């Protein structure tokens, strides 16, 4: 299926290659470079590029292109998903250990995702329920679309072959789910219980989508007043961020970014808190707000200087928001209990909740 | 997918040294090799060579890491070949791995030297460690040296019957590689594929289907018998295998089942109005009511859970399967999952959106509920934005158009102008498709004509032009407006569009049109070709309608065109002049010039660019590219009439009788006859003693055929020489097979047995790498010392193989006899009809999956019978009114792999409630574990409750003691399992049974001769009694007097093989083969009375 793999870094060097069948010359990447040139940004390079004798399928992560060379028909997602797994594996491998001292040993186990003979002195299992809100808010502040996507990420360090079950107080909230292969699907179907022998270490147990029937609580609002005037080369810019439906929790890690129109030369702004940067080259404004104090709402005000002579931009910029709320799953999802079978020791168990902004956009 | 199985570790293996180098570039002085200075390069390689010669493994390992690093960077390391290849036999597994990596890269370039390493691989192929066997096969098949093709072929064949499913998986991978190296091997490889397709391991399934797709995708006939198995295994196959299998099954289903679409609708429409007679006739035509083939349904049902996979490729594969195979009403279930994938990476989004785009054209309803999921975000990459827009446009209808147009307004203002332009096109499409909003859209677009951005304006012009064409009436104002735009707009397409519009409708704007021609005539030479053509066009049209005012202007333009640089323009000019300007040469056509130029033109259809992608199978590369990719396999149309569904029937029951019964009915006599003659022929052949390699190869082909394929091949070439020696051998065999080992020298025999056992062990306890590696080294040194002995032992092994083949012969011959008889009186087999029907297929698949990894062809089945006997756990007297009984439910794996499930019934005999019944303190022997039942909160007087618990007895009959507690009291109780309950039944073929039995001889065999009561000697009674006494699975037996049962122990999964062989004078021999000798002998003791008692 995949004939060869090339890794290309940001400066366009092929710094790693691997061939599974016969060797394919590097020159095949020239087609890729051509396509890269045509696309203005790395993000716009088409993931599938046909060449006279091959097909190039690529993924772009960590500023590296992973380019797979294919010779014949294959489901493109097969290759793309595989490449992403390769990247994940690299990330796992290079991220954690001191590279180079130990080659991974191939191991076959009865449970394919878990190696045998795992031993820990401290047995612990942590689960993070992380929910992300994707939303588009229109000019007037009303929600155009909002949905909640969640994941449960686990870090399980348990000796032996533990068999875990995890149940929810309100499993009905989960509308669409996808599982790590370790989860027993039948059990979920019949009892809405996650039953599994966990892999060792970090893994994503579950991804879910909260059913659309539930109204999504929007934890923050943005008040904005952005105006460009035709006559002068100055514009007004003012935004304020405030908490909305936060269930009494603090909104923190707030970060506002906005792509300004090309005609903007510079911005002179004063934040009431946090720091801000405007990059006059990329026209990207980012404001690191930090925590929102409901008593004193953070704001950013000032003037925008526009290129003289050009007409005012058609569109006001979109505001992208990031934020975090600890100890809250915005959908209301709650883990009921976590049990372990198959091993005798008592593990330490921990569950953490967090809500984050996903793709959270405010149109102005 | 090549080498997927271990690709992770492989990659890790290579990546590691690579980065090791990267991490410390300053420490190596020669690191900046990028300069590629010739001298420094050779110097560097010199030191690598020295390191490789070193006696220290650490130095070698370092060198290999650096060399593999070079390969990964694409540098040439080929000159190190001789130095590296020497280390191929290294005992250090880390070095070995890296040498393998090197060989895979360079063997093709240095074929002669590469041959030096082959013998090492051949030896490694026989290594007791399955990982080493597998990697040897992987490397061997990756060395692209044509000379070793026969060796590869042989290795693949052998590996395909390896005990380890992992090795068999690698055999499947190797098939593709060999095929790409030498397509001539196709026929032989197909035979291996056929054999591996029968494999029941989930590990093998994906890989062999991959090989099938690559080598012989047209051999649909090979799939029939494996279809149901593949459907059932699917959930447990690894993700990549799932994708491949699903795609293959989609193609398969389209050739084997009738369409679930339409037929039903047509029928119900006619239903009401026609008389019965007519109806019947219709029925015959329209195939009556549509009933889905159960196999078709099976596929749909078993793929559905995979929509929940974390792997986008799997979800997409299921989605396309539902799209192409499911009734239209069911296809909708995939929408939600596809929408979920949109949360994934940009590349995944791109492919998924493309497929949704195609789907949404044909079946809007599927994605309409998810309309908002396709709203565009300003941060999406352009290609994603455009695709989302495409889908939104496809989904537009009267109900949602106003919301959508509002959304589109935002997009038009986008800073991404390319996207804004695409939005304008989308608005145009909505306007033509939904007549209610045509005017609104048109007005909106006209407003955009005053936009500042030229691209937006240009696109609007183009779209307006198309819209006006659809309704040319009363749009004079818009055309005038656009004529004014011509002064400012520079985009050629837009200018051309305006000119065309004015020309086309010049009679509606009689004053403006000539003026426009005047202006453009002035700028003619500076215009783009596209615009020039339209100026010529405009001129011609005006000349025909208003020649008074424009004759001179047109001639001027035509003169300009005559000398234009572009030959297209010159051609067109000449053409137009001849057509419109009357002269003596002009033919009959000029009379019709007006009709030609000003004919009513059909309005363009604004269509989705995804309109014609639907002839490609969804989810394929070809679909993404919208052109046929190399190796694309067309999805066939549904057949009019379904091919014979019985081809998928498999011999599920334990006896071959049933199978022949089915086959005999549906198929003609012919295959049966062939069967017969072939096996006779084989009898002769197998008697030959000459054990050349090629012959043993063809022998195994024969085996395959015996198993029911009617495939003709080249097997006949093997020469057979009969010797008296072998004849006697043969006789002996049929007479009494126990004496078969007599021929061979004792010592050799023992050695072989030991080897077989050790191999068996190494597969069952796969994780124990340390011990196996030591085993490896010892066997390595042995074979190295004397290559002759190696070949000799190979020979003797072959001889043994032949023996086993002969063993199989006898029962086979009987099969053939039975076949004829059975056609007349099919014998029902009541006890052990496949129990799979009871459980849902995927559950059985679950169970299969669990066991399959440890041993290949052996599946855990459900219990054949459940003993009704209950045992007392707690008497009501000693339990103060609380009584408890237990029995063994024989349900496998409820509480995990190693647990025996026990059902406990607690009864309250008091007249008061008993609260909180639970298990208290446990006193379990070491290793034993218990899965408690959930506490019973309250038990009413005279009430009784049955709960299940699991106990891992560690394959011993030791007692599990624990306390049964109530709110106020606790009672000590014991459970001691009968040995028969420590087993899980397995199904296996007779062949496999014998194979396994052959390896469990000597110490591992216990037997006894028992007297059997006459009434107990029928097959049914024996089976009934044995499976009642112990949880055994029934193995089909070809001989009436031999009954076989198989199980594995619950805890360790060791095989337990039971044979009951009836002899004359009411005696029988009871044989038990197992590694667990203690349990074996206990079981033997327990089974004895079962058969002898009346």
SS3 B162: coil
- Rounded to a whole number of angstroms, the CA Rg of chain B reads 39
User: DSSP letters of B851-868?
Assistant: HHTTSSS-EE---S----
Q: State whether B415 and A84 contact (CB < 8 Å).
A: no
In angstroms, the CA B72 to CA A6 distance is 9
Task: Report pLDDT digits (tens) over A21-59.
Answer: 888 999 999 999 999 999 878 888 999 999 999 999 999
Joined together, the tokens standing for residue A348 give 């330490």
Band of pLDDT at residue A335, cut at 50, 70 and 90 = very high
**pLDDT at residue B1085 in the model:** 84
**pLDDT at residue B90 in the model:** 84
SS3 A62: coil
Query: Which residue does chain B place closest to A17, by CA atoms?
Result: B72
Chain A positions in Cβ-Cβ contact with residue B924 (cut-off 8 Å): none
Q: State whether A100 and B631 contact (CB < 8 Å).
A: no
Task: Report pLDDT digits (tens) over A112-144.
Answer: 788 878 889 999 999 999 999 999 998 888 888
Q: State whether B1 and A359 contact (CB < 8 Å).
A: no
B895 touches chain A (CB under 8 A): yes
Q: State whether B313 and A81 contact (CB < 8 Å).
A: yes
In angstroms, what separates the C-alpha of B915 from chain A's closest C-alpha? Answer: 23
Q: State whether A359 and B410 contact (CB < 8 Å).
A: no
Chain B positions in Cβ-Cβ contact with residue A99 (cut-off 8 Å): 16, 19-20, 23
pLDDT of residue A272 exceeding 90: yes
B27 touches chain A (CB under 8 A): no
**pLDDT at residue B652 in the model:** 53
Average pLDDT over residues B101-109: 86
Band of pLDDT at residue A107, cut at 50, 70 and 90 = low
In angstroms, the CA B860 to CA A127 distance is 34
pLDDT of residue A82 exceeding 90: yes
pLDDT of residue B76 exceeding 60: yes
**pLDDT at residue B1 in the model:** 41
A14 touches chain B (CB under 8 A): yes
Band of pLDDT at residue B545, cut at 50, 70 and 90 = confident
Chain A positions in Cβ-Cβ contact with residue B414 (cut-off 8 Å): 315
Picking from B309, B407, B622, the nearest residue to A73 by CB comes out as: B622
Query: Which residue does chain B place closest to A310, by CA atoms?
Result: B452
Chain A positions in Cβ-Cβ contact with residue B894 (cut-off 8 Å): none
| Residues 635-674, chain B, touching A (beta carbon < 8 A) | none
B594-B597-B601 Cα angle (round to 5): 120
Q: State whether A59 and B382 contact (CB < 8 Å).
A: no
Chain A positions in Cβ-Cβ contact with residue B413 (cut-off 8 Å): 314-315
Lowest mean pLDDT across B29-43, B405-419, B563-577: B29-43
A204 touches chain B (CB under 8 A): yes
Q: State whether B12 and A43 contact (CB < 8 Å).
A: no
Query: Which residue does chain A place closest to B926, by CA atoms?
Result: A344
In angstroms, the CA B282 to CA B416 distance is 58
| Number of other residues whose CB lies within 10 A of the CB of residue A172 | 10
Task: Report pLDDT digits (tens) over B321-370.
Answer: 999 999 988 888 999 999 999 988 999 999 999 999 999 998 888 999 89
B99 touches chain A (CB under 8 A): no
Band of pLDDT at residue B311, cut at 50, 70 and 90 = very high
**pLDDT at residue A30 in the model:** 94
**pLDDT at residue A7 in the model:** 94
Band of pLDDT at residue B917, cut at 50, 70 and 90 = confident
Query: Which residue does chain A place closest to B335, by CA atoms?
Result: A176
In angstroms, the CA B299 to CA B321 distance is 9
Q: State whether A145 and B373 contact (CB < 8 Å).
A: yes
Nearest to B400 by CA among B377, B425, B433: B433
Picking from B8, B350, B630, the nearest residue to A73 by CB comes out as: B630
B337 touches chain A (CB under 8 A): yes
Query: Which residue does chain A place closest to B336, by CA atoms?
Result: A176
Q: Please give the C-alpha separations between residue B806 and each of B105, B685, B724, B814, in angstroms, as whole numbers.
A: 43, 10, 16, 14
Q: State whether B375 and A136 contact (CB < 8 Å).
A: yes
**pLDDT at residue B281 in the model:** 52
Chain A positions in Cβ-Cβ contact with residue B406 (cut-off 8 Å): none
A57-A59-A64 Cα angle (round to 5): 125
Q: State whether B310 and A181 contact (CB < 8 Å).
A: yes
Highest mean pLDDT among B460-474, B527-541, B670-684, B754-768: B527-541
Neighbour order of strands in the sheet with A193-196:
A193-196, A163-168, A335-341
pLDDT of residue B196 exceeding 90: yes
**pLDDT at residue B433 in the model:** 85
Task: Report pLDDT digits (tens) over B719-734.
Answer: 444 444 444 444 444 4
pLDDT of residue B792 exceeding 60: no
Q: State whether A176 and B632 contact (CB < 8 Å).
A: no
Looking at per-residue pLDDT, the higher value among B504 and A252 belongs to A252
| Residues 554-613, chain B, touching A (beta carbon < 8 A) | none
pLDDT of residue B473 exceeding 80: no
Looking at per-residue pLDDT, the higher value among B896 and B1032 belongs to B1032
Nearest to A221 by CA among A247, A243, A249: A243
B619 touches chain A (CB under 8 A): yes
Q: Mean of the per-residue pLDDT values for chain B?
A: 75
Q: Please give the C-alpha separations between residue B1047 and each of B33, B183, B451, B839, B899, in angstroms, as whole numbers.
A: 62, 42, 80, 19, 15
Task: Report pLDDT digits (tens) over B136-178.
Answer: 898 888 888 888 899 999 999 999 999 999 999 999 999 999 9
Long-range pairs for B659-664: beta carbons < 8 A, 24 or more residues apart: B660/B815, B660/B818, B660/B819, B660/B822, B661/B822, B661/B823, B661/B826, B663/B708, B664/B819, B664/B822, B664/B823
pLDDT of residue B39 exceeding 90: no
In angstroms, the CA B1088 to CA B45 distance is 73
B182 touches chain A (CB under 8 A): no
In angstroms, the CA B961 to CA B172 distance is 49
Q: Mean of the per-residue pLDDT values for chain A?
A: 88
Joined together, the tokens standing for residue B431 give 């306007």
Q: State whether B12 and A104 contact (CB < 8 Å).
A: yes
pLDDT of residue B518 exceeding 50: yes
pLDDT of residue B216 exceeding 90: yes
Chain B positions in Cβ-Cβ contact with residue A89 (cut-off 8 Å): 8, 11-12
Give percent of chain B above pLDDT 90.
19
**pLDDT at residue A108 in the model:** 62
A245 touches chain B (CB under 8 A): no
pLDDT of residue B92 exceeding 70: yes
Joined together, the tokens standing for residue B126 give 């026989």
pLDDT of residue B33 exceeding 80: no
Average pLDDT over residues A232-261: 89
Longest dimension (CA), chain A: 77
B450 touches chain A (CB under 8 A): no
* Residue B451: φ, ψ to 5°: -65, 155
| Residues 941-960, chain B, touching A (beta carbon < 8 A) | none
* Residue B715: φ, ψ to 5°: -60, -15
Task: Mention every residue, 6+ apart, whose C-beta is less than 8 A from residue B918.
Answer: B932, B933, B935, B936, B965
**pLDDT at residue B226 in the model:** 92
In angstroms, the CA B487 to CA B490 distance is 8
Highest mean pLDDT among B119-128, B282-291, B578-587: B119-128
pLDDT of residue B758 exceeding 60: no
In angstroms, the CA B1012 to CA B1023 distance is 13
B74 touches chain A (CB under 8 A): yes
Lowest mean pLDDT across A192-196, B103-107, B210-214, B602-606: B602-606
Q: State whether B73 and A16 contact (CB < 8 Å).
A: yes
B851 touches chain A (CB under 8 A): no
Average pLDDT over residues A187-191: 89
In angstroms, the CA A228 to CA A303 distance is 10
Looking at per-residue pLDDT, the higher value among B88 and A348 belongs to A348
């Amino acid at each position: 299926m995949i004939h060869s793999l090339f890794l290309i870094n940001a400066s366009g060097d092929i710094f790693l290659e691997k061939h599974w069948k016969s060797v394919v010359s590097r020159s095949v990447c020239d087609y890729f470079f051509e396509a890269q040139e045509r696309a203005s940004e790395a993000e716009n390079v088409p993931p599938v590029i046909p060449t006279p004798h091959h097909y190039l399928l690529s993924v772009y992560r960590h500023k590296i292109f992973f380019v797979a060379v294919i010779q014949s028909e294959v489901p493109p997602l097969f290759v793309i998903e595989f490449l992403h797994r390769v990247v994940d594996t690299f990330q796992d491998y290079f991220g954690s250990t001191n590279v180079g001292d130990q080659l991974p040993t191939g191991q076959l186990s009865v449970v394919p995702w878990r190696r045998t003979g795992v031993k820990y002195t401290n047995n612990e299992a942590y689960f993070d329920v992380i929910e992300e809100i994707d939303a588009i808010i229109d000019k007037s502040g009303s929600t155009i679309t909002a949905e909640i996507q969640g994941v449960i990420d686990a870090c399980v360090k348990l000796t032996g072959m533990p068999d875990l079950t995890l149940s929810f107080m309100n499993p009905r909230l989960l509308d669409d789910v996808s599982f790590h292969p370790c989860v027993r699907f039948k059990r979920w179907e019949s009892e809405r219980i996650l039953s599994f022998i966990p892999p060792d270490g970090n893994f994503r147990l579950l991804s879910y989508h909260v059913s659309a029937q539930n109204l999504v609580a929007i934890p923050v609002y943005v008040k904005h007043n952005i105006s460009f005037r035709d006559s002068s080369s100055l514009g007004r810019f003012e935004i304020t961020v405030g908490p909305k439906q936060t269930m009494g929790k603090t909104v923190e890690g707030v970060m506002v970014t906005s792509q300004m129109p090309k005609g903007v030369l510079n911005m002179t702004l004063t934040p009431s808190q946090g720091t801000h940067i405007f990059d006059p080259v990329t026209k990207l404004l980012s404001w690191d707000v930090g925590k929102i104090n409901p008593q004193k709402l953070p704001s950013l005000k000032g003037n925008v200087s526009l290129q003289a002579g050009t007409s005012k931009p058609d569109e006001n910029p979109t505001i992208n928001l990031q934020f975090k709320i600890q100890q809250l799953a915005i959908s209301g999802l709650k883990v009921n209990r976590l049990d372990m079978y198959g091993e005798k020791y008592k593990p330490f168990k921990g569950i953490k909740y967090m809500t984050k902004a996903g793709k959270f956009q405010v149109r102005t | 997918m090549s080498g997927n199985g271990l690709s992770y570790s492989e990659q890790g293996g290579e990546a590691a040294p690579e980065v090791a180098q990267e991490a410390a570039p300053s420490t190596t002085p020669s690191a900046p090799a990028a300069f590629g200075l010739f001298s420094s390069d050779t110097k560097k390689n010199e030191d690598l060579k020295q390191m490789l010669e070193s006696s220290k493994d650490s130095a070698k390992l370092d060198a290999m890491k650096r060399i593999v690093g070079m390969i990964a960077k694409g540098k040439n390391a080929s000159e190190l070949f001789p130095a590296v290849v020497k280390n191929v036999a290294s005992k250090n597994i880390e070095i070995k791995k890296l040498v393998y990596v090197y060989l895979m890269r360079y063997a093709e370039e240095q074929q002669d030297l590469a041959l030096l390493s082959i013998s090492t691989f051949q030896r490694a192929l026989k290594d007791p460690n399955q990982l080493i066997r597998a990697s040897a096969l992987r490397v061997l098949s990756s060395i692209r040296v044509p000379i070793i093709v026969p060796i590869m072929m042989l290795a693949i064949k052998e590996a395909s019957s390896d005990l380890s499913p992992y090795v068999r998986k690698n055999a499947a991978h190797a098939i593709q590689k060999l095929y790409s190296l030498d397509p001539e091997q196709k026929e032989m490889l197909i035979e291996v594929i056929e054999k591996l397709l029968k494999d029941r391991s989930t590990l093998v399934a994906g890989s062999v289907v991959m090989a099938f797709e690559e080598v012989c995708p047209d051999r649909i006939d090979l799939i029939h018998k494996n279809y149901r198995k593949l459907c059932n295994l699917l959930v447990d196959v690894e993700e990549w295998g799932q994708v491949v299998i699903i795609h293959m099954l989609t193609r398969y289903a389209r050739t084997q089942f009738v369409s679930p679409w339409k037929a039903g609708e047509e029928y119900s429409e006619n239903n009401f109005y026609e008389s019965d007679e007519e109806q019947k006739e219709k029925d015959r035509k329209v195939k009556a009511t549509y009933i889905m083939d159960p196999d078709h349904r099976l596929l749909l049902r078993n793929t559905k859970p995979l929509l929940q996979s974390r792997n986008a490729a799997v979800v997409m594969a299921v989605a396309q399967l539902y799209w192409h195979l499911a009734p239209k009403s069911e296809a909708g279930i995939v929408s939600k999952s596809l929408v979920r994938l949109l949360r994934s990476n940009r590349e995944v989004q791109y492919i998924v959106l493309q497929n949704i785009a195609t789907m949404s054209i044909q079946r809007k309803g599927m994605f309409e509920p998810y309309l908002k999921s396709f709203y565009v975000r300003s941060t999406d990459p352009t290609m994603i934005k455009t695709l989302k827009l495409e889908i939104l446009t496809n989904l537009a209808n009267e109900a949602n158009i106003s919301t959508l147009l509002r959304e589109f307004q935002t997009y038009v203002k986008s800073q991404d102008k390319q996207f804004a332009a695409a939005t304008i096109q989308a608005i145009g499409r909505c306007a033509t498709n939904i007549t209610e909003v045509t005017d609104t859209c048109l007005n909106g677009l006209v407003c955009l004509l005053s936009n500042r951005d030229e691209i937006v304006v240009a696109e609007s012009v183009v779209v307006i032009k198309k819209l006006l064409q659809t309704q040319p009436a009363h749009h004079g104002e818009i055309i005038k407006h656009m004529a004014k735009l011509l002064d400012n707009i520079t985009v050629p397409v837009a200018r051309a569009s305006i000119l065309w519009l004015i020309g086309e409708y010049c009679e509606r704007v009689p004053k403006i049109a000539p003026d426009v021609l005047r202006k453009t005539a002035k700028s003619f030479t500076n215009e783009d070709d596209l615009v020039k053509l339209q100026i010529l066009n405009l001129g011609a049209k005006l000349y025909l309608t208003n020649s008074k005012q424009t004759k001179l202007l047109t001639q001027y333009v035509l003169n300009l065109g005559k000398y234009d640089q572009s030959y297209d323009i010159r051609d067109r000019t000449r053409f137009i002049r001849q057509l419109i300007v009357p002269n003596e040469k002009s033919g009959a056509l000029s009379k019709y010039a007006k009709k030609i130029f000003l004919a009513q033109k059909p309005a363009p259809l604004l269509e989705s660019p995804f309109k014609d992608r639907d002839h490609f199978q969804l989810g394929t590369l070809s679909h993404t590219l919208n052109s046929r990719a190399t190796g694309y396999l067309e999805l066939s149309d549904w057949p009019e009439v379904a091919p014979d569904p019985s081809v998928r029937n498999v011999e599920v029951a334990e006896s071959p009788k049933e199978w022949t019964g089915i086959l005999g009915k549906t198929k003609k006599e012919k295959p049966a006859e062939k069967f017969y003659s072939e096996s006779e022929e084989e009898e002769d052949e197998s008697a030959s003693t000459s054990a050349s390699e090629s012959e043993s190869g063809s022998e195994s082909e024969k085996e395959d055929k015996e198993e029911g394929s009617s495939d003709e091949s080249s097997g006949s070439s093997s020469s057979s020489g009969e010797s008296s020696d072998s004849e006697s051998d043969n006789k002996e065999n049929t007479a009494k097979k126990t004496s078969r080992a007599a021929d061979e020298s004792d010592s050799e025999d023992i050695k072989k047995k030991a080897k077989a056992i050790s191999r068996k062990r190494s597969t069952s306890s796969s994780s124990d790498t340390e011990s196996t590696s030591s085993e490896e080294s010892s066997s390595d040194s042995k074979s190295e010392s004397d290559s002759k002995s190696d070949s000799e032992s190979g020979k003797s092994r072959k001889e043994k193989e032949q023996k086993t083949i002969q063993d199989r012969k006898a029962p086979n011959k009987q099969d053939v006899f039975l076949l004829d008889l059975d056609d007349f009186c099919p014998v029902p087999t009541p006890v052990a009809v496949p129990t799979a029907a009871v459980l849902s297929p995927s559950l059985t698949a679950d169970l299969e999956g669990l066991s399959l990894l440890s041993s290949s062809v052996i599946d855990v089945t459900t219990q054949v019978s459940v003993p009704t006997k209950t045992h007392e756990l707690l008497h009501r007297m000693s339990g103060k009114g609380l009584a408890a009984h237990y029995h063994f439910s024989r349900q496998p794996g409820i509480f995990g792999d190693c647990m025996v499930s026990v059902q406990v019934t607690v009864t309250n005999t008091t007249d008061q409630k008993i609260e909180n019944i639970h298990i208290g303190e446990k006193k379990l022997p070491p290793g034993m574990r218990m899965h408690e039942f959930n506490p019973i909160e309250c038990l009413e007087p005279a009430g009784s409750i049955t709960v299940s618990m699991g106990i891992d007895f560690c394959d011993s009959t030791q007692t599990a003691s624990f306390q049964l507690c109530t709110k106020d009291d606790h009672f000590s109780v014991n459970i001691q399992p009968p040995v028969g309950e420590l087993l899980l039944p397995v199904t296996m073929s007779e062949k496999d049974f014998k194979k396994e039995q052959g390896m469990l001889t000597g110490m591992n065999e216990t037997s006894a001769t028992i007297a059997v009561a006459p009434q107990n000697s029928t097959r049914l009674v024996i089976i009934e009694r044995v499976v009642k006494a112990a949880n055994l699975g029934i193995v089909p037996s070809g001989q009436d007097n031999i009954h076989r049962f198989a199980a594995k122990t619950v805890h360790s999964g060791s095989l337990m093989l039971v044979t009951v062989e009836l002899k004359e004078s009411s005696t029988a021999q009871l044989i038990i083969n197992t590694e667990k000798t203690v349990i074996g002998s206990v079981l033997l003791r327990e089974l004895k009375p079962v058969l002898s008692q009346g």
